[in-house]
Amino acid sequence: MAAVGPLQNDILAALPQSELDLLLPHLEFVHLPFDKELYAYGDNLSHVYFPTTAIVALLYVLADGDVTEISVTGHEGMLGISSLMGQTAMGTAMVQSAGSAYRLPASVLQKACANGGKLQQLIMRYTQALLSQMAQNSVCGRHYSIDQQLSRWLLDRIDRLPGNELKVTQEMIANMLGVRRESVTEAAGKLQNEGLIHYKRGNITVLDREGLEIYAGECYRVAKQEFDRILSSNM
């Protein structure tokens, strides 16, 4: 198994060596187990996270316990951006796919960004991409079918994984999409009958990625194109 280093995070990998050297002594390698809460809505953020192999969702948790997924972050980004504005957490960060990340004190990030440079530029561009993702999630949830929403949700995770298999339950997907579990079961059955995925005992394998993208349509394509555009040119 290849060693995991900070350069497996796209933001850290895009930094010039001089800026990266300022962060390296403060970067702490951490393992993020499935379902771990990194912080909750309204928390003061003492650290930010740069995922390398983990996938983390930002959730809005209602008073009755129901949740809505706001965004998802993997090796392409970071969590805890609101700390740069001196603000508390704007959502609850929950690990959806176990893996690793690098944790950095928020005070170190604030100081580094205050100097300007590439890090500040990268975070601003990533924030723009994140806002685009949030907007598309809202549109997708309102105007597209459960089948298309599920297709987009799966593609968003596969984009951030090295393979085509995802460990996830239908109950978890239903919670993230804000729909009934029966609706997810029906949608997953349709995708499996079409030969796009294979689902068994908490594992979903994407068999036909291109077909799944076609099935998802604009619900996935528009957000993906905008995200890639903003983060293009080697970050």
Using CA atoms, how far apart are residues 68 and 56, in angstroms rounded to an integer? Answer: 14
Q: 33 by DSSP, 3-state: which?
A: coil
Task: List all residues 6 or more positions away from 140 whose beta carbon is below 8 Å from its beta carbon.
Answer: 148, 149, 152, 219, 223
pLDDT band at 235 (very low <50, low <70, confident <90, very high): low
pLDDT score, position 1: 43
Using CA atoms, how far apart are residues 8 and 4, in angstroms rounded to an integer? Answer: 7
Higher-scoring residue by pLDDT: 188, 219: 188
Beta bridge partners of 69: 59
Q: Which of 207, 226, 201, 222 is nearest to 154 (CA)?
A: 207
Span 104-142, pLDDT tens digits: 999 999 999 988 889 999 999 999 888 888 887 787 777
pLDDT score, position 234: 52
Predicted TM-score of the model (pTM): 0.89
HEC states along 67-90? Answer: EEEEEEECCCCCECHHHHHCCCCC
pLDDT band at 36 (very low <50, low <70, confident <90, very high): very high
Domains of the chain: 6-115 (2.60.120.10), 140-230 (1.10.10.10)
Span 166-218, pLDDT tens digits: 988 888 898 888 889 999 999 999 999 999 999 988 899 999 999 999 988 88
From residue 67, alpha-carbon distances to 35, 198, 209 in Å are 14, 26, 28
pLDDT score, position 129: 86
Span 48-65, pLDDT tens digits: 999 999 999 999 887 777
